Structure 1
Amino acid sequence: MGALAIKNVTKSFGDTHILKGIDIHIEAGEFLILVGPSGCGKSTLMNIIAGLEAPTTGEVHIGERIVNNVAPKDRDIAMVFQSYALYPTMNVRKNIAFGMETRGVPKKEQDEIIARVSKMLQIDHLLDRKPGQLSGGQRQRVAMGRALARDPKLFLFDEPLSNLDAKLRVEMRTEIKQLHHRLKTTIVYVTHDQIEAMTLGDKIAVMKDGIIQQFGSPEEIYERPSNLFVAGFIGSPSMNFVECHLAEQGGEYGVSLQSEGDARFVALPNGARLADRIGQKVILGVRPEQIEVAEEGEPGLACKVHLTEPTGPDTMIFTQVNGKEVVARVHPRAARHPGETMRLKLDMGKVVLFDPQTELRLV
């Protein structure tokens, strides 16, 4: 048995079904991200893992045991909350020690643990300060230190960085990842931020409406999204979606793309697998970095630039293909000004196609 197994877990409040059959399994030392929009059920699932809510049906396994009827304090878990949940009248040392004191850990051992985790988190110079004297990042480190002091089987992080400013979020994200690499701890981490999901997780569960839409590695979810929702939710800027009709031309299978002043047939590497769909509508998904500037002599689609957004290392180019707004991520030196034309090509080896009815990926 791995570190965590969630088997067919459902949760209902009266006639409202929050979770609709969740199945997840991770091994010891893995970093699992639960990601999705507000109201998708990720926090409810976290509360069920923690024992703060009971599942309506299904089982939760932590390590070798089913913990459905085990109290939170006996599950060998530690939580880090969005709100830090520090005791304002206690200094940092006492906040970290509080859980150990309630468990009867000897004072000498407490002091050793506090020294170790405070040095690891670079808060050893703050041990005598109270939470009100700390910055948001320092308070979050204290909350993490209190969790680390327990040395549990499972760490639960519930949107721990959402109260921090953008720069501090990036710094804390890096610290959490480094901490995981050093300690090889098992972590379940709830977020609505898909960048956090992509940068932190070994495995990602993308949730919507109480259902896991896709479960896999960041690479799998980014490059082979299972449906339109996952494709649009993961990635910044979002994947472009272009309505097309499948066609056959000169023995090749592909789609026709049209800009405001040009049209071109582009072949799909695996297009023959869709031969039975010729003439049918599909949705072509392509990420901004998969739209490149065509070199001299290369086939490309002449596209009129509507808007540019410089970001420093890249420039976002807004244009239209098949009547839909499309964003391309290009090198600043290759960018053209609004009103000018650029010849663009799609990396057809990386585009994905979706069925417009089922919204599932075809290839």
Structure 2
Amino acid sequence: MKDGVVQQVDTPQNLYQKPGNLFVAGFMGSPQMNFLDVEIKEKGSDVVAVLGKDELVIPAAKAKTLKDGGYVGKTVVMGIRPEDVADTPNGSMSSTVKVYELLGAEVFLYFDVNGTQITARVDPGTKAKTGDPVKFDFDMEKTHFFDKDSELVITN
């Protein structure tokens, strides 16, 4: 519920996995979902989310929904849960760790991507520490896309 209006009614698991709008996506989960403005573009046979200098290939089913909805050439909000951000030596994107937070069985890494703070929930065996450069990838199968104006989900 937001401002006295029910936003979505479903099981907690479905609210977490398939939020109907930005509010529900940000409300469900701790830490909350990461939100980034991306431009949707076609590149050859792929549909990509452009995030600064990075181009992230969108999985086919999500790409079709974005394309059919007329979002190519537009800016949308991409959501990614912290557990779907992986620090990996072969990652396609890079940043610098601003904060390393050890919570026992997991570590939260905080860093910026194109001017937006991102939280990654990673294995406590990570070698990344505060001040270190980090390479990472998003699990694009688990991304969510939201209309920037209406804040409604386009595709989960």
User: TM-score, normalising length from structure 2?
Assistant: 0.91
The residue that corresponds to 1:318 in the other structure is 110
Give 1:305 shift. Answer: 0.8
Give 1:250 shift. Answer: 2.2
The residue that corresponds to 2:32 in the other structure is 238
Matched residues in 2 for 1:310 and 1:344: separation?
18
Indicate if the aligned counterparts of 2:39 and 2:51 stay in contact, CA closer than 8 A: no
Of residues 201, 218, 230 in structure 1, which corresponds to 2:12? 218
The residue that corresponds to 1:351 in the other structure is 143
Amino acid at match of 1:277: Y
Give 1:335 shift. Answer: 4.2
- Counterparts of residues 130-279 of structure 1 (less than 5 Å): 207-258=1-52, 263-269=53-59, 270-275=62-67, 276-279=70-73
Matched residues in 2 for 1:308 and 1:301: separation?
18
Identity of aligned residues (%): 34
Indicate if the aligned counterparts of 1:243 and 1:322 stay in contact, CA closer than 8 A: no
Structure whose alpha-carbon radius of gyration is higher? 1
Compare the two structures and name the one with the higher helix fraction: 1
Matched residues in 1 for 2:58 and 2:148: separation?
18
Indicate if the aligned counterparts of 1:226 and 1:360 stay in contact, CA closer than 8 A: yes
Where in structure 1 do 4 or more consecutive aligned residues deviate above 4 Å?
none
Compare the two structures and name the one with the higher strand fraction: 2
Matched residues in 2 for 1:246 and 1:227: separation?
19
CA RMSD of aligned residues (A): 1.3
- Structure 2 unmatched ranges of 5 or more: none
Indicate if the aligned counterparts of 2:33 and 2:80 stay in contact, CA closer than 8 A: yes
Matched residues in 2 for 1:349 and 1:335: separation?
25
Matched residues in 1 for 2:64 and 2:74: separation?
14
Matched residues in 2 for 1:281 and 1:252: separation?
17
